[in-house]
């Protein structure tokens, strides 16, 4: 029996005009380093709920690893089956067979435990407070910013943002540039692939496919002109993390499943491709293996296949990401 109380069909992806529009997240509280705050930073208090296929959840999982928060914030991985009751637990691809806290079988049950009257989509990432038994936040951009610094007092000094050589993942001197880039990248790239893939009309698809590739061209030019390892220099920033989770899925899923097939990252964007390879394959102090270790290609392909109501998971590509040239 369905337990969907959202008042809307979570599986209806496009509006009546054929365009996909992402609804705003509902839970927007913050974890704070202040012990007197409503949600203070504490070890073993919070749980990050994700599924491996979702790029928004992937952002939070990457930052959890980059910051060394694995022993501070519990991780729960759901399966890739999205139903009217939200993401389901199925035990596949390293996911949990059920919610380890409450025995739930679907993500909607967690949302309704936080708010029995909740109406909306049951999205990930979801940051849960075990003490208050409620959702702190379900907006990925805000969760990763919390993870950057809110738990720093619980970490070794070398992992704290104040001690990072370039000012951390969201450095003060680059915030205006980072925020500006994030705005257009979100609209046309991060969310742009969804606006193409979930279009329900030719007009909606055509209106979004061109801006997507114009923005990829713009990112390629940005890297070419700067000649830096990462988007804003020689250190990873918020912009790199947010873009990575889209581009690592691009050739694997968006080209075929979302019909974003005008160009491919590996063949048509040499600077973006090199940037992507360095993040994925890197295991140095900058990347810490966090990008590769949190990327799971089988759930990515299966998840998008099911999201578009197809029954055929694409076989390729032969290499989900091109091996790194030893000379790079």
pLDDT in tens, 294-305: 999 999 999 999
Other CB atoms closer than 10 Å to residue 67's CB: what's the count?
A: 25
Active site annotation includes 54: yes
Reply yes or no on whether the pLDDT at 9 is more than 90. no
pLDDT tens per residue across span 104-150:
999 999 999 999 999 999 999 999 999 999 999 999 999 999 999 99
- State the DSSP code for 85: T
What order do you get walking across the sheet with 46-51 strand by strand? 74-78, 46-51, 126-129, 134-137
Determine the pLDDT at residue 3.
Answer: 37
Determine the pLDDT at residue 113.
Answer: 98
- Please tell me the pTM assigned to this model: 0.93
Q: Which one from 51, 54, 196, 260 is the annotated catalytic residue? A: 54
For residues 265 and 250, what is the distance between their CA atoms, to the nearest angstrom?
7
For residues 174 and 180, what is the distance between their CA atoms, to the nearest angstrom?
10
CB under 8 Å to 308, separation ≥6 — which residues?
197, 198, 257, 258
Distances (CA, A) of 322 to 8, 76, 114, 293: 41, 30, 43, 16
For residues 150 and 35, what is the distance between their CA atoms, to the nearest angstrom?
11
pLDDT tens per residue across span 70-80:
999 999 999 99
| Nearest CA among 229, 264, 24 for reference residue 138 | 24
Pairing state between β 46-51 and 74-78? parallel
The residues pairing with 32 across neighbouring beta strands, listed in sequence order, are: 40
């Amino acid at each position: 029996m369905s337990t969907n109380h959202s008042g809307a069909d979570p599986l209806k992806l496009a509006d009546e005009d054929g365009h996909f529009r992402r609804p705003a997240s509902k839970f927007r509280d913050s974890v704070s380093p202040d012990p007197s705050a409503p949600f203070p930073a504490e070890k073993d208090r919070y749980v990050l709920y994700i599924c491996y296929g979702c790029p928004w959840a992937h952002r939070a999982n990457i930052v959890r690893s980059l910051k060394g928060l694995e022993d501070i914030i519990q991780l729960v991985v759901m399966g890739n089956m999205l139903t009217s009751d939200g993401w389901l637990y199925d035990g596949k691809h390293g996911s949990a067979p059920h919610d380890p806290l409450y025995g739930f079988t679907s993500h909607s049950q967690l949302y309704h435990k936080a708010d029995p009257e909740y109406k909306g989509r049951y999205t990930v990432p979801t940051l849960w407070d075990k003490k208050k038994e409620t959702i702190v936040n379900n907006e990925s951009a805000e969760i990763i910013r919390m993870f950057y610094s809110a738990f720093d007092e619980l970490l070794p000094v070398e992992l704290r943002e104040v001690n990072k050589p370039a000012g951390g993942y969201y450095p003060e001197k680059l915030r205006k540039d980072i925020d500006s880039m994030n705005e257009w990248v979100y609209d046309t790239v991060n969310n742009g692939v969804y606006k193409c893939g979930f279009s329900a009309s030719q007009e909606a698809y055509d209106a979004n496919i061109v801006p997507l590739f114009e923005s990829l061209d713009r990112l390629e030019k940005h890297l070419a002109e700067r000649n830096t390892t990462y988007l804003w220099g020689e250190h990873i920033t918020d912009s790199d993390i947010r873009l990575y989770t889209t581009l690592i899925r691009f050739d694997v899923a968006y080209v075929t499943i979302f019909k974003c097939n005008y160009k491919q990252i590996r063949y048509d964007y040499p600077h973006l491709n090199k940037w992507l390879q360095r993040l994925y394959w890197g295991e140095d102090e900058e990347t810490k293996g966090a990008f590769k270790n949190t990327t799971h290609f089988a759930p990515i392909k299966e998840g998008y296949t099911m999201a578009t109501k197809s029954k055929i998971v694409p076989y390729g590509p032969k290499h989900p990401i091109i091996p790194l040239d030893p000379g790079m």
